[in-house]
Amino acid sequence: MANTYTQLYIHLVFAVKGRQSLIPRDHKSELQKYITGIIKNKRHKLLAIENEPDHMHILVGLRPDESVSDLVKEIKGSSSHWLNEQPWMRHHFNWQEGFGAFSYSQSQVKDVIAYIRNQEEHHKKVTFREEYIAMLKAFGIEFDARYVFAFIEGDSDAAPTELKNLYRPLTPD
């Protein structure tokens, strides 16, 4: 694609099916390395990757000749297959249908990387549901709660008050 110049930074977020905590913390680096290989083999630029036992965050510099949906489909399909082959995986693993994809400018990349790398600390205060709903709202994405990731019963729809400003530095330009 001669004479094509792009700068596409996409923050991907997706969950384990049923929001089950199936990714063991002591094996998360193995999963991250596997997914890093997928992204690099597809010639995208991985900027940050972090996961909790029930969901994944990835910041990628996306090449313009592949859709976000195709990249996520490859990541989720290949990593699910790989996870199910691991001797330490005690349950059948699937990623949930769907994903979130949020675009950022160059000036926001450092903040997004820091945010992704801080997931473990972040989730000591905020549930994944609260985080995800707050991101959708911050980006002005209309959603129907029936089609947002299937969350564990008892998770609330509303983000707590302290989340109101959380995504301010990460809102699109």
2 Rama sector, left if φ>0, alpha if ψ -120 to 50, beta otherwise: beta
CB count in 10 Å sphere of residue 64 = 11
pLDDT computed for residue 150 by the predictor: 66
Sorted by where each begins, the domain ranges of the chain are 9-170
Exposed / middle / buried, residue 16 (Cβ in 10 Å: 0-12, 13-18, 19+): buried
Question: Where is 103: in which H helix or E strand?
Answer: strand 100-104
* Token pair of 91 as six digits: 């349950």
Residue 69 half-sphere exposure, CB side, CA atoms within 13 Å?
2
Please compute the mean of the pLDDT values over residues 122-149 and round it to a whole number. 87
What is the pTM (predicted TM-score) of this model? 0.85
Please, which pLDDT band fits residue 151 given cuts at 50, 70 and 90?
A: low
- Write out pLDDT tens, residues 34-71: 999 999 999 999 999 999 999 999 999 999 999 999 99
Would you give the DSSP letter of residue 151?
A: P
Q: Dihedral through CA 17, CA 150, CA 146, CA 153, nearest 10?
A: 160
CB count in 10 Å sphere of residue 156 = 11
Bigger pLDDT: 143 or 151?
Answer: 143
Q: How far apart are CA 173 and CA 104, in angstroms?
A: 7
Assigned CATH class of 9-170: alpha beta
Contacts of 49 (CB under 8 A, 6+ apart): 32, 35, 36, 56, 57, 58, 59, 116
